[in-house]
Structure 1
Amino acid sequence: MKISDLMISPPVTVAPQASVRAAAFRMDEQSVGSVLVAEDGTLRGVLTDRDVVVRAVAPGLPTDTTTVAELMSTHPVTVDVTDSVDAAYRAFRRSGVRRLPVVDGRRLVGVLTIDDLFLDVFQRFADLLGPVSWSTLQEPPARQQHRPTVQS
């Protein structure tokens, strides 16, 4: 299976010159925990809700004038749209991040989250459980033999 089968596209993005407040509003509006920072379709960085709290709110920076570029993580770990899901698992394990921008060459095309992989795994389990539970319902329960208990 390819990453393109599971990724979210288009990703939620903001420009590097956007204010931190605008980025936080976008995260809230889209119900996401991060935004990809892009310019002309090219990934420049990632800004998470944690970045906003730790790097802007806690030190008291003005969120209306502080730009995303000042706080974003640069050089994020990415995966290619043509990579297999196995490559994504390896990237998640090695990097410790929860979200991977998906690129097609240099162009940003989506995002893949750990939650997307969990949903895929759960769907696969559900697909397997269907036939198993159906066969269980059709077969009579095994008769249990009564074994006398031995008292000492």
Structure 2
Amino acid sequence: MTTARQIMSKGTECVGEQETLADAARMMTRLGVGALPVCGTDERLMGMLTDRDIVVKALGAGKDPNSTRAAELAQGEVVCAQADDSVEQVLGTMTRHKVRRLPVIDDHKLVGMIAQADVARALPEPQVGELLEALSTE
């Protein structure tokens, strides 16, 4: 059985809950990513922050990116995979929640990130097609 740990990208960086949206945007630029996990001071995953969140939920709502904290947009259910979940479980989670990126945790700590492409490489074509179809529909 192939697990989340085997297909994830390691060395995932978090934006701290107290860091500003401007800090998060600079981090996204430096890393060349469109989403970052938000972690508390205890290194526990609090949620995800996307470039779209920054634009729509903050800038579009008139919030100041230099004073708005990342934790303010990392509300709601945290969707993630456990490091020992099977690739099929990861696929199910991504499909059910319609997410393209999935943080991976081990003992409540962030250990990596799985992107849609990581799952595509690990699964047979029909399952990849199902994932793409699920993520393409609203």
**Normalising by the residue count of structure 2, what TM-score does the alignment of the two structures yield?**
0.82
Matched, 1:88 2:90: yes
Partner of 1:46: 48
Structure 1, unaligned stretches of length 5 or more? Answer: 126-152
In structure 2, how many angstroms separate the alpha carbons of the residues matched to 1:97 and 1:90? 10
SS at 1:28's partner residue? helix
Report the alpha carbon displacement of residue 105 of structure 1 after superposing the two structures with TM: 2.3
Partner of 2:134: none
Distance 1:73 1:33, change over 3 A: farther
In structure 2, how many angstroms separate the alpha carbons of the residues matched to 1:59 and 1:83? 37
Partner of 1:104: 106
SS at 1:76's partner residue? coil
The question of whether the paired residues in 2 share the 8 Å contact of 1:14 and 1:23 is answered with yes
Runs of 4 or more consecutive aligned structure 1 residues displaced over 6 Å after TM superposition: none
Structure 2, unaligned stretches of length 5 or more? Answer: 126-138
Higher relative contact order (CA 8 A, sep 6+): 2
Q: What do residues 78-117 of structure 1 show as CA deviations (whole Å, max 9, x unaligned)?
A: 1110111011011011111111111112111111111211
In structure 2, how many angstroms separate the alpha carbons of the residues matched to 1:75 and 1:105? 18
**Normalising by the residue count of structure 1, what TM-score does the alignment of the two structures yield?**
0.75
RMSD: 1.6
- In the alignment of these two chains, the number of paired residues is 123
Report the alpha carbon displacement of residue 75 of structure 1 after superposing the two structures with TM: 2.5
Partner of 2:72: 70
In structure 2, how many angstroms separate the alpha carbons of the residues matched to 1:65 and 1:105? 32
In structure 1, how many angstroms separate the alpha carbons of the residues matched to 2:20 and 2:85? 33
The question of whether the paired residues in 1 share the 8 Å contact of 2:47 and 2:79 is answered with no
In structure 2, how many angstroms separate the alpha carbons of the residues matched to 1:110 and 1:90? 18
Q: What do residues 22-57 of structure 1 show as CA deviations (whole Å, max 9, x unaligned)?
A: 001101110111110112221111101110011111
The question of whether the paired residues in 1 share the 8 Å contact of 2:3 and 2:84 is answered with yes
